[in-house]
Amino acid sequence: MSVLVTERRDAVLVVTLNRPERLNALDRELLTALDELCAAVSGDPHVRALVVSGAGDRAFCAGADVNELDGITPADALALMRHGQRILDRLAGLDQPVVAAVNGVALGGGCELAMACDLRLAAPDARFAQPEITLANVPGWGGTQRLPRLVGAGRAAEMILTGRPVDAPTALAWGLVNRVVDGGRLLEEAITFAGELAGHSPTATAGAKHAMATGLRHGPEAGLFAEAEAVAACCATAEQQAAVRAFLDRHRASRSDHR
């Protein structure tokens, strides 16, 4: 049985974490499968957006598989954390937009996986937490960095230093999720949303993602330069040129109608 299942829905690739018996926990095999998936879709013109979800109705992802942390040495822990960070950074860095459909719990590494996606839709019973502190540990796959950027330093500190979960309405109010969707419609809603994103120019989407990421990582000056470069790249595409001409044609037609 594959630990990662994929299904094409037109230009959207639906990716399902498939370890329901372990609440889709991220072990080394599943991390490797995610890494290979990112390598496969990077630059694939037929995949214009992705949806990431979890098998079953209990969990999006329960985080790192704790079985693999039992007795781990500091050196091995450092290597595993850096490995997971690289994979989630690779997911976040895809040119295509990535939508998380959070069905059930997103704990620890599962919350970090959801945050590595560009947008998050959640079922009403979804819960998000960074509970590592309750295991005498610290989030290690980007939680200390992505969570403050999404919800602010104070709320991130509350989640990380208490380990307490937040429910879907709270996550929505805090900006951790973009929408709360009825659980029975969650996956289809996420696919529809991803399909809408897939309809935009790939050059523009990739440029927007890169500019935002550059600004967050290197500061506003670098982000503004990346933004300007993205606009220049878009202006070289036939899509942008056709869109501008179509806009101007509509504007001229509208002015003629009102004469």
The mean pLDDT value of the chain amounts to 95
Q: What percent of the chain has pLDDT over 90?
A: 91
Per-residue confidence band for 68, with pLDDT thresholds at 50, 70 and 90: confident
- Which of 170, 198, 226 is the endpoint of a domain? 198
Last residue of a domain, one of 156, 181, 198: 198
With cut-offs at 50, 70 and 90, classify the pLDDT of residue 257: low
* Domain co-membership, 187 together with 229: no
Do residues 147 and 130 touch, judged by C-beta distance below 8 A?
yes
Residues 174 and 211 in one domain: no
Regarding whether 169 and 218 lie in a shared domain, the answer is no
Q: Are residues 81 and 159 in the same domain?
A: yes
- pLDDT reported for residue 229: 97
Residue after which a domain boundary falls, among 198, 221, 242: 198
pLDDT in tens, 14-60: 999 999 999 999 999 999 999 999 999 998 999 999 999 999 989 99
Going by C-alpha positions, the residue among 90, 123, 128, 122 that lies closest to residue 108 is 128
pLDDT at residue 254 greater than cutoff 80: no
Looking at the structure, do residues 104 and 13 belong to the same domain, yes or no?
yes
Give residue-wise pLDDT tens across range 32-44: 999 999 999 998 9
Residue range(s) defining the domain that contains residue 163 = 4-198
Per-residue pLDDT tens digits for 217-228: 999 999 999 999
Average pLDDT (69-91) is 96
- For residues 65-82, give the mean pLDDT: 93
**Percent of the chain residues past pLDDT 70, beyond the cut:** 98
Residues 45 and 111 in one domain: yes
Do 64 and 142 belong together in one domain? yes
- If asked whether residues 186 and 241 sit together in one domain, one would say no
If asked whether residues 118 and 210 sit together in one domain, one would say: no
Residue with tokens 């945050």: 115
List residues with catalytic annotation. 112, 132
Q: Are residues 172 and 50 in the same domain?
A: yes
Q: Give the chain's domain count.
A: 2
pLDDT of residue 166 exceeding 80: yes
* 161 and 211 part of one domain: no
> Given pLDDT bands bounded at 50, 70 and 90, which one contains residue 249?
confident
* Dihedral Cα 83, 158, 116, 234, nearest 10 deg: -130
Whether 141 and 97 share a structural domain = yes
